[in-house]
Amino acid sequence: MTDGDVQSFPLTLDKFLDHAAKWRPNSEVVTARDDGSVVRIGYAGLRARSVKISGLLRQYGVEQGRRVATLAWNTQGHVEVWYAIMGMGAVCHTLNPRLTAEQLSSMLEQSGARILFVSPDLAPLASRIASLTPRLERILVMDLDKGFDAPESAADIRLLEPLLADAPNDMVWGQFPETAPSGLCFTSGTTGAPKGVTYTHRSSFLHTLRLLQADGMAVTGRDSVLAVVPMFHANAWGLPFATSAVGAKLVLPGRRLDGASLARLVASEQVTVGVGVPTVWLALLEHVEETGLELPSLERIIMGGAPLAPALMERIEKRLGVLIQTSWGMTELSPSGTVAPPHDQRRSAHLSGRPGIGIDLLLTDEAGQALSEQRGAEGHLKVRGATVVRRYFGQDQDAVDVDGWFSTGDLARIDADGNLTITGRAKDLIKSGGEWINPAEIEAVVGALPGVALAAVIGRSDPKWGERPILLVEVSSEAPADDESLLEPLKGRVASWWIPDAVYRLERMPLAATGKIDKLKLRADYGAR
Cβ-count burial of 145 within 10 angstroms (0-12 exposed, 13-18 middle, 19+ buried)?
exposed
Please, what is the angle between helix 278-291 and helix 259-268, to 10°?
80
Q: Which residue among the candidates 220, 427, 436, 478 is catalytic per the annotation?
A: 436
What region, left, alpha or beta, does residue 497 occupy, with left being phi > 0 and alpha being psi -120 to 50 degrees? Answer: alpha
At position 279, the amino acid (one-letter code) is T
Task: Report the alpha-carbon distance of residue 23 to residue 28 in Å, rounded.
Answer: 13
Across the beta sheet with 359-364, the strand order is: 359-364, 379-385, 406-414, 420-425
| φ, ψ (nearest 5 deg) of residue 78 | -70, -40
Annotated active-site residue 187? The verdict is yes
**Rounded to an integer, what distance in angstroms lies between the CA atom of residue 451 and that of residue 318?**
16
Smallest CA-to-CA distance from 436 within 472, 410, 467 is with 467
- Of the candidates 187, 326, 331, 421, the residue annotated as catalytic is 187
Which of 373, 431, 488, 491 is an active site residue?
A: 431
Count the Cβ atoms, other than its own, within 10 Å of residue 6: 5
152 classed as catalytic: no
Cβ atoms of 278 and 349 closer than 8 Å: no
Sign for the pseudo-dihedral over CA of 445, 451, 456, 458? negative
d(CA 107, CA 341): 36
* DSSP assignment string, 367-406: TSPBPS--SS--EEEEEEETTS-SS-TT-SS-SB-TTSPE
DSSP 110: H
Reported as half-sphere exposure (CB side, CA atoms, 13 A), residue 258 has a value of 6
Catalytic option among 28, 178, 332, 474:
332
Which residues are identified as catalytic? 187, 332, 431, 436
